[in-house]
A and B are shown apart, each in its own frame.
Chain A
């Protein structure tokens, strides 16, 4: 297939009066995303480059393939040595992305939460998006593979993969967590930066989060064994939790409604929590310890 396209491009270059110029009938072929990956030459795209009076054929190819090999193959196809530039390329991706801090939700959820980050499944090679059960699994009401939606612009970015069920009293919950698989081809973007590792929190630790409602905020961990009653509204109602991190904001609320699912990260880049709830005025917030989230969800931060 790539031969036809290289030929089409090459025909746009015409040798005339001792110069190469662009044919009046030239057509541009661009953005041939991943089209040639299976070919031994690993050409990802072709295009017309150079300046107007000195056009040349550009070939976007894997750097590990020797350039002379690609040139030789192209000249063999065209039977003529046209101006040619091989441009190193490790693949072309779409600009559509999912970012930490995006507004996300289960397809049937009224409202939204936060895309916290990306983790790896222990039992498969999947990279997964992480948030709360009440964001991705609609408070236990979802089915596996239900659509997960990113808002503004609205796109379905993946499907529900696994969640830890929330249980009513007298049961005491330890996590409100869920993960979703992500469609191939989407760029996964960390904000403000990718954390280094996961680990445990301590009282007095300075932390930040990047949430869909309040963006980047900083706080301080005041408690690491907090036991709150959290109001989920019907049908779940009020649920009990234990071993939560209690966080107070340093300059205003650490979180507000819409920030659920944010990762809580130490200033030195250690993921220590998954935010789930907060006091109604924003005075303090609660997060589940991230090492417990990893254990119960069967995922790992790498």
Chain B
């Protein structure tokens, strides 16, 4: 089985490519059922799954709907 690249490097690469495009506001690592995966948080009223990759470098891509991220001063 092919060894997966480091998830931090994969996220850095995806961030350069995807952040700010097609509603992607953050990309994060996560763990689902003990398996490492990558989550795209997308600020779009209608999620169109096919706009985004389903797997990159062996990591499954999950798409989640999200509001925008704001600095937390009041």
Q: Which residues of B contact A232 (CB under 8 A)?
A: 71
Contact yes or no, B19 A229, CB < 8 A: yes
C-alpha gap A255/B73 in the complex (Å): 10
Q: Smallest Cβ distance from B11 to chain A, in angstroms?
A: 5
C-alpha gap A223/B62 in the complex (Å): 13
Give the interface residue-count category, chain A: 35 or more
A79 within 8 A of B: no
Q: Which residues of A contact B72 (CB under 8 A)?
A: 113, 213, 255-260, 275-278, 285
The 8 Å CB contact of A111, one of B25, B29, B68, B73, is B73
Q: Smallest Cβ distance from B30 to chain A, in angstroms?
A: 5
Contact yes or no, A231 B69, CB < 8 A: yes
B8 within 8 A of A: yes
C-alpha gap A231/B67 in the complex (Å): 11
A21 within 8 A of B: no
Give the interface residue-count category, chain B: 20 to 34
Q: Which residues of B contact A227 (CB under 8 A)?
A: 11-12, 14-15, 19, 26-28
B7 within 8 A of A: yes
C-alpha gap A246/B25 in the complex (Å): 13
Q: Smallest Cβ distance from B34 to chain A, in angstroms?
A: 10
A168 within 8 A of B: no
- A238 and B20 in contact (CB under 8 A), knowing A260-B72, A279-B67? yes
Contact yes or no, B7 A134, CB < 8 A: no
- A279 and B7 in contact (CB under 8 A), knowing A223-B30, A226-B29? no
Contact yes or no, A240 B19, CB < 8 A: yes
Q: Which residues of A contact B28 (CB under 8 A)?
A: 222-223, 225-228, 244, 246
A230 within 8 A of B: yes
Contact yes or no, B69 A278, CB < 8 A: yes
B46 within 8 A of A: no
Contact yes or no, A280 B67, CB < 8 A: yes
Q: Smallest Cβ distance from A108 to chain B, in angstroms?
A: 13
CB-CB nearest 9 A-B residue pairs = A258-B74, A228-B26, A226-B28, A223-B28, A227-B15, A260-B72, A280-B67, A225-B8, A257-B74
13 contacts between A and B (CB under 8 A): A213-B74, A222-B30, A223-B28, A226-B26, A228-B26, A231-B68, A231-B71, A258-B73, A258-B74, A260-B73, A277-B71, A278-B69, A286-B26
